[in-house]
Structure 1
Amino acid sequence: MSAPAKGTGKGTGKGTGKGTGKGTVAVVTGASRGAGAGIAAALAATGATVYVTGRSEDGIARTAAECDRRGGAGIPVVCDHAEDAAVAALFDRVRREHGRLDVLVNNAIALPDGLTDDRPFWEKPLAHQRMFDVGLRSSYVAAWHAAPLLTVGGGLVAHTSSFGGGCYLHGPAYGSVKAGVDKLAHDLAVDLAPHQVAVVSVWMGILRTERTLAGLARDPGRYGELAARTESPELTGRILAALLAHPERMRWSGRTVIGAELARELGVTDTDGSSPPSHREMLGGPLEFNPAVVR
């Protein structure tokens, strides 16, 4: 084991902005609906080719069609991210068809029924641990397969995360997964830095997805003022497009960021022109990891 090295090897990133457009190739996992669908659509709006993955054939077909409508190209790929062979086949297809990858968004997660039930973890089904498989482990597997394609010309890896990485949110399983993908982003960034591949984990706010809106409708008073401070599922995609195009994107690499705060920093607004608020004051901020590198 070597001594800790100074710095993280993230580099300054000057001159690395790739821009977005018809030459951009992206993979968005878990994109049949919700955050993944919104991110895919936002990337496609820049002209990108977006591989849209998920288990629902109908769902990914709808997302891919929306990508086409936005001016990009949506490619639906049925993929269960619990199956390593299916993930390998996905990235092998990207390699055959494009020879490289510019953006990987790790969004797939096995969100179980009853996740938001107000009960202690031992009274919830043990099946909630599936989030460790499709959520944390799946993000590592996708990154492992994507890395050789990302290093061809540099790019961006993003994990969709949440304030559950820093506070109690929906129970220990969910929180551990989100904290895990935050740390995973930090460590992936160290290895990918020499190849000008930036890696970030983005804490999204309360998204206006069908699932979330239905939950708020069932119990409108539960989340108080948070329910009125939502953001669209597309905001994160807009942020990632701006980050990929930024000439110094590497200075964010390895960090966990609050999406609403990064949006303001990059000059990105939501679909309605608004700037969604950060929930830092109420829910806290991301952990700052130590810059030491021990190999």
Structure 2
Amino acid sequence: MTAIAIVTGASRGAGRGIAIALGSHGCTVYVTGRSQERGRDGLPGTIHETAAAVTQAGGRGIAVACDHSDDDQVAALFAQVAEEADRIDILVNNACAIQDALHAPGGFWEKPLALSQMIEVGVRSSYVASWHAARMMVPQGSGLIVFTSSPGSVHYCMGPAYGAHKAGIDKLAADMAVDLVDTGVSAVSIWMGALASERLLAMIAAQPDKYGHLTAMLEPTEYTGHLIHALQADPDLRDLSGQVLIGAELGRRYGIARPDGTFPPSARDTHRVEPPRQFPVIVR
């Protein structure tokens, strides 16, 4: 049976790559985001272009314009999926309001307050989308909810807005898994490495002295999508639910290498960090 997936924030970057990778495995992918015309926010990519790329890769791409800061639009998205597909197998929470000021020098108080939207959109929208997804997945007795994260959840990275966003979604995965236990639905957070995204490649080109070292560490934007497909098919997925997983280590687990045949480095080696520990205490 063809897997039905929703990938949020999929106009470009990680979301686009994940959607295309899932399409290459034959999935039907609902591609969501705000960008319907090229050039929005000064970056290339639209939901329509991504949906077309999903179809070209071998799946079926369906573009749905959705501002994930608007609960009504999110509700309409899931209503559309319920009507057209009658199920959802994979939800990838990737939408986030990233702004160029994130990389600017200075303390958080010297940068625009609008950076707080990373928390408002990134964390809250992931909660809202997961709420809708769970209401479909639990009755069907299966499903995978994924949060795209990074090691910035456990070390300083571009300021407190970014760190709070990543730490927040790691915690969402951990606590949702507690509620989802014995339902057949799993929730995980995946630490992605440095991605060969349009934004990061532009940063490397503009400041090679500062970011050039990342070139050898880059993961293709499609990489995490292949990991998600393997996760969904893993008979031991239930044992991984609630965990923060390092994408590079999942790649070795499933034998998924980069196009050149090498595996990306783990954050355990590059940053000397590891996923946060969730204690087994449950208070209801």
**TM-score (norm. length: structure 1):** 0.90
1:293 aligns with 282
1:277 matched to 2:265: yes
- Report the residue type matching 1:122 in the other structure: W
- Report the residue type matching 2:7 in the other structure: V
1:120 aligns with 107
Which of 30, 33, 36 aligns to 1:57? It is: 36
1:273: how far off? 3.0
Confirm or deny: 8 A CA contact 1:157 1:198 kept in the other structure: yes
Which of 1, 9, 14 aligns to 1:35? It is: 14
1:270: how far off? 2.5
2:250 aligns with 262
Structure 2: 5+ residue stretches without partners: 38-45
- Structure possessing the higher relative contact order (Cα contacts under 8 Å, 6 or more residues apart): 1
1:224: how far off? 5.5
1:44 matched to 2:32: no
Q: State the secondary structure of the residue aligned to 2:92.
A: strand
- Report the residue type matching 2:227 in the other structure: I
Is the helix fraction higher in 1 or 2?
2
1:93 matched to 2:80: yes
Between the aligned partners of 1:275 and 1:223, the Cα distance in structure 2 is 20
Which of 225, 228, 233 aligns to 2:221? It is: 233
Q: What is the identity percentage for the equivalent residue pairs of Structure 1 and Structure 2?
A: 52
1:84 matched to 2:71: yes
1:191 aligns with 179
1:153: how far off? 3.5
**Deviation readout 1:150-182 (Å, 9 max, x if unpaired):** 221301110000111011001011001100000
Between the aligned partners of 1:52 and 1:80, the Cα distance in structure 2 is 12
Cα RMSD, aligned residues only: 1.2
Q: State the secondary structure of the residue aligned to 1:101.
A: coil
Confirm or deny: 8 A CA contact 1:164 1:178 kept in the other structure: yes
- Report the residue type matching 1:114 in the other structure: A
**TM-score (norm. length: structure 2):** 0.94
Q: State the secondary structure of the residue aligned to 1:231.
A: coil
The 4+ residue runs of structure 1 with deviation greater than 6 A are none
